[in-house]
Structure 1
Amino acid sequence: MEANPIPMTKITVSVVIGGFIVLLMQLYNLLVLKPKLLRAKLQRQGIRGPSPSFFFGNIPEMKRIQLQVHSTPKTTATKECDRPDAITHYWPSTLFPHLEQWRNEYGPIFLYSSGNIQLLCITDPEMVKKISLCTSLSLGKPSYLSKDRGPLLGQGILSSNGPIWAHQRKIIAPELYIDKVKGMVILMVDSTFSMLRSWERRIENEGGIADIEIIEDFRSLSADIISRACFGSNYSQGEEIFSKLKALQGIMSKGNIGVPGFRFLPRKNNRAMWKLEEEINSMILKVVKQRTEASYEEDLLQMILEGAKSNNGYYGPSTNSSRDKFIVDNCKSIYFAGYETTAITASWSLMLLAAHPEWQARARAEVLEIVGDSLPDANMLRNMKTLTMVIQETLRLYPPATFVVREALEDITFKDLMIPKGINMQIPIPILQQHYDLWGPDAHKFNPERFAHGIVGACKTPQAYMPFGVGSRVCVGQHFAMTELKVILSLILSKFCFSLSPTYQHSPAFRLVLVPEHGVTLRVRTT
């Protein structure tokens, strides 16, 4: 007998409808119920914030507030003859006006949403201190870093958690300890001299003084240093990698994190992002292949290659694909963090020294006294107290990373506030680092003297100074970065005097890191 097709059709329809209902329930839980329950747990404890809209959270309101601020007429050009205080350093009110507005309205701890990501913004110094001192595994990097920022960070050391992160840090950190970095100073000096010789030729060709846009030069210099110090190559070999990383960074800075599903849509930006990711990954693996076919060098890249062989399945089954992903993700993290942040900080430092000639003269006098006719070495760099103060103050006013974010991987309590699993605690670094109660009435001004007795002497709550992050997740490359900055700045000060070009426009911009939107152009002459 033939089977009756009608019951089978009904079963199929029932299965499809059932599956659709289950999908709708899962979406409802993800987009509505879970965020609402998380917010409710904090609201019952007195935490307030703006009401989010469905799907986009508070993103529309954030854009509206930013548009209002940016539509206000303002003059950004800063002429060479202007007083130093003509440059306004309190840029967070322009870049992140929604945080300023909500902090004034809801208090130092408030709640808002970016898509379906729930953010607990914390500007209370005592709460920040508690979080910075916490070593619990219940705190970790937010999951959106490896998702929404996945093409740039993947599951590298900047975005991973748990055993994966511990394995990565065990491999990478020892290669950037201070004793190792001391051995890299000669290399840093050599790379910097190459750039300075090009400046000298340009100044000579232009009659003894030249306007130089410094950021791209610093990016090339920093890329050369990180390439030679950590990857056994030079900038010319990795030039295309850095160029594409910069392009990827630019695209990702325009996206909205947390909007469900947006990163999967074949929009123009996403297609460009996917293409860049594929090209960068391919180029990094090409560098790795060249290394494995060449002679053995015990540097950071070699340690990453060794670590890929023993990643204990953290990236899935131990296959060529998982090993390649381990290598690529960590190389991208080092490339990105190692060249962009240092180049930008060096640019901000020279901008501030150009705007404050008295500090430029003071730092130059110190460098010439310590170095003399020699080349700077690790011991000399350690004795450059004034230059260290200048760098610390630059990092206070213009930190490359603008937020420290930690996700509660389990329920955790700080100062009697229970923070539920899934909440992202967001600490806005620039707001804390220019907080009047912590830094005094000149918090918005350039005053390196505040660091004369170190960070502890500069700030009432030292943990609120966090240009390299906080706690156990503090940047593994901070010694490398500080040494590189001292080498670059000391050599420039020893050879050149500089002021701000009349074309300089002071306009900090957020491009995943804090950058000068219109570059930094200096009027440079030899000393």
Structure 2
Amino acid sequence: MEQQVAMAAVKVLLSLCCVGACGLAMNLYYILWLVPQRVLAEFRMQGISGPPPSFPYGNLADMREAVATAKAARASARRRPGGGGIVHDYRPAVLPYYEKWRKEHGPIFTYSMGNVVFLHVSRPDVVRDINLCVSLDLGKSSYLKATHEPLFGGGILKSNGEAWLHQRKIIAPEFFLDKVKGMVDLMVDSAKPLLKSWEERVDRNGGITDIKIDDDIRAYSADVISRTCFGSSYIEGKEIFMKIRELQQAVSKPNVLAEMTGLRIREHSCHSCLVSNAPWTAPRMAGPGAFVSRQALQDLKLGGVHIPKGVNIYIPVSTMHLDPKLWGTDAKEFNPERFFDVRPQLHSYLPFGAGARTCLGQGFAMAELKILISLIISKFVLKLSPQYEHSPTLKLIVEPELGVDLTLTKVQCLY
């Protein structure tokens, strides 16, 4: 009798486990497939299509395949004589899937990663309306917020709504032009050790040397921010930024599982400037930010497109910067003269973001780099080293995977 009762209890327990497992499976299917499919259907009704997703990771497999193919093509090109040249347009190397989908579906298309739906927008009129939107219902994309939390926390880069507004009101006055002007001498002081170390190295090598500049430029930037913003010593600032760099490397690879609803565990860069109008041109050609990302925190209508709540909006910066309809037939050429008379329009120039969430540190970064470049070219003639290998990669920002190698020649005094 007791054995029969025990067997019955086991059967009931197994039945409950089966019911629970089925319920969990159905819930995951609803979250990971039915919900995003419903959103994608709303876009299709508006004539906006995209690559068909697969369960449960959406278009992630297609993206990985495109990147692997592009990487193999680059490796093959490097092995050919003269095949390792510099191509300013990094999109085929870094974002090949976007190039493929844009050709197939036009300047506005959808795709998904897990249960997260993205709207890719590169049509100027829609981009303009997105950038003009000041509603708190349009916030920063929450995709990868869980993955990036160790680096950004609840700071201004990732926060939304009133939390973002409160932080911006506190921080913005510290980057007003009069404050930045007062930091110029400190920026010069930060540049002196860098220039001295380069001069010593050039002198030791007979007036010319090759140098990989990445770590030196990061150290300069760390020192500037330590001096101007925190009052920290150079050593303390250097330690802080080394840890930040390590965090950047650690969180640069997306963790799709952590980003799927129901499965979450928890969630400045403008170093491409020259002098005069070149600070406008260099970020257009090779700005570090690959996207301007936003998220519809409520249902919105922007540029005539109805965007359901929760959709992540990605504007590809490089596509806007290299569009010949916006910049002319020489859009892929480094031409600072284009900025002499005309400043770029809101929807076409996005190295510091755009709209209400434009980077607060824009003026600070421009001043920092104008000073550094001015001092460098007063002492050295620079050109790319024969050792330089063009290697753009996306690690939160677009950066040279193999670094930047320059040949420095000491400027000869003419008097």
Q: Which residue does the alignment assign to 2:326? A: 438
Matched, 1:115 2:114: yes
Structure 1 residues 123 and 492, CA, compared in 2 at 3 Å: closer, same or farther?
A: same
Matched, 1:488 2:415: no
Matched, 1:33 2:9: no
- Asked if 1 retains the 8 angstrom alpha-carbon contact of 2:144 and 2:255, the reply is no
Scaled by the length of structure 2, the TM-score of the pair is 0.89
User: Which stretches in structure 2 are left out of the alignment for 5+ residues?
Assistant: none
Q: Which residue does the alignment assign to 1:401? A: 289
> Deviation at 1:258?
6.3
Q: Structure 1: how far apart are the matches of 2:67 and 2:144?
A: 23
- Asked if 1 retains the 8 angstrom alpha-carbon contact of 2:58 and 2:115, the reply is yes
CA shift digits 1:56-92 (9 cap, x unpaired): 111111111222222222139999xx9xxx6321111
Secondary structure in structure 1 of the residue aligned to 2:118: strand
Q: Which residue does the alignment assign to 2:102? A: 103
Query: Which structure 2 residues correspond to residues 112-511 of structure 1 after superposition, within 5 A?
Result: 112-257=111-256, 260=259, 337=268, 341-342=269-270, 344-345=271-272, 387-456=275-344, 461-511=345-395
- Asked if 2 retains the 8 angstrom alpha-carbon contact of 1:393 and 1:447, the reply is yes
Secondary structure in structure 1 of the residue aligned to 2:277: helix
Structure 1 residues 506 and 476, CA, compared in 2 at 3 Å: closer, same or farther?
A: same
> Deviation at 1:46?
0.9
> Deviation at 1:21?
5.4
CA shift digits 1:390-438 (9 cap, x unpaired): 1111000111111011111111112322111111111010011001111
- Asked if 2 retains the 8 angstrom alpha-carbon contact of 1:389 and 1:452, the reply is yes
Structure 1 residues 10 and 263, CA, compared in 2 at 3 Å: closer, same or farther?
A: closer
Matched, 1:71 2:72: yes
1:345 maps to amino acid: S
Q: Structure 1: how far apart are the matches of 2:80 and 2:202?
A: 24
Q: Structure 2: how far apart are the matches of 1:159 and 1:134?
A: 18
- Asked if 1 retains the 8 angstrom alpha-carbon contact of 2:116 and 2:260, the reply is no
1:207 maps to amino acid: G
Q: CA RMSD in A?
A: 2.9
> Deviation at 1:100?
0.5
Q: Which residue does the alignment assign to 2:402? A: 518
Secondary structure in structure 1 of the residue aligned to 2:293: strand
Q: Structure 2: how far apart are the matches of 1:436 and 1:256?
A: 35
Q: Structure 2: how far apart are the matches of 1:22 and 1:167?
A: 42
- Asked if 2 retains the 8 angstrom alpha-carbon contact of 1:56 and 1:259, the reply is no
- Asked if 1 retains the 8 angstrom alpha-carbon contact of 2:130 and 2:303, the reply is no
Q: Structure 1: how far apart are the matches of 2:257 and 2:142?
A: 10
Secondary structure in structure 2 of the residue aligned to 1:31: helix
Q: Structure 2: how far apart are the matches of 1:32 and 1:117?
A: 10
Q: Which residue does the alignment assign to 1:91? A: 90
Return 145-154 or 486-495, whichever deviates more.
Answer: 145-154
Structure 1 residues 60 and 170, CA, compared in 2 at 3 Å: closer, same or farther?
A: same
CA shift digits 1:153-181 (9 cap, x unpaired): 12110000011111111111111111111
Q: Structure 2: how far apart are the matches of 1:89 and 1:139?
A: 32
1:75 maps to amino acid: R
Q: Structure 2: how far apart are the matches of 1:33 and 1:144?
A: 19
1:490 maps to amino acid: S
Q: Structure 1: how far apart are the matches of 2:366 and 2:262?
A: 35
Q: Which residue does the alignment assign to 1:44? A: 45
Q: Structure 1: how far apart are the matches of 2:44 and 2:257?
A: 21
- Asked if 2 retains the 8 angstrom alpha-carbon contact of 1:195 and 1:221, the reply is yes
Secondary structure in structure 1 of the residue aligned to 2:306: strand
Structure 1 residues 110 and 404, CA, compared in 2 at 3 Å: closer, same or farther?
A: same
User: Which stretches in structure 1 are left out of the alignment for 5+ residues?
Assistant: 267-273, 275-328, 330-336, 350-386
Count residues with an aligned counterpart: 404
> Deviation at 1:25?
4.1
1:215 maps to amino acid: D
> Deviation at 1:256?
4.4
Q: Structure 2: how far apart are the matches of 1:450 and 1:264?
A: 49
> Deviation at 1:248?
2.2
Secondary structure in structure 1 of the residue aligned to 2:57: coil
CA shift digits 1:161-212 (9 cap, x unpaired): 0111111111111111111111110000001011101111111111111111
Q: Structure 2: how far apart are the matches of 1:237 and 1:509?
A: 29
Structure 1 residues 103 and 256, CA, compared in 2 at 3 Å: closer, same or farther?
A: farther
**Higher share in helix:** 1
Q: Structure 2: how far apart are the matches of 1:415 and 1:144?
A: 23
Scaled by the length of structure 1, the TM-score of the pair is 0.71
Q: Structure 1: how far apart are the matches of 2:377 and 2:389?
A: 23
> Deviation at 1:242?
1.8
CA shift digits 1:11-50 (9 cap, x unpaired): 9888766665554443232111211111111111111111
Secondary structure in structure 2 of the residue aligned to 1:405: strand
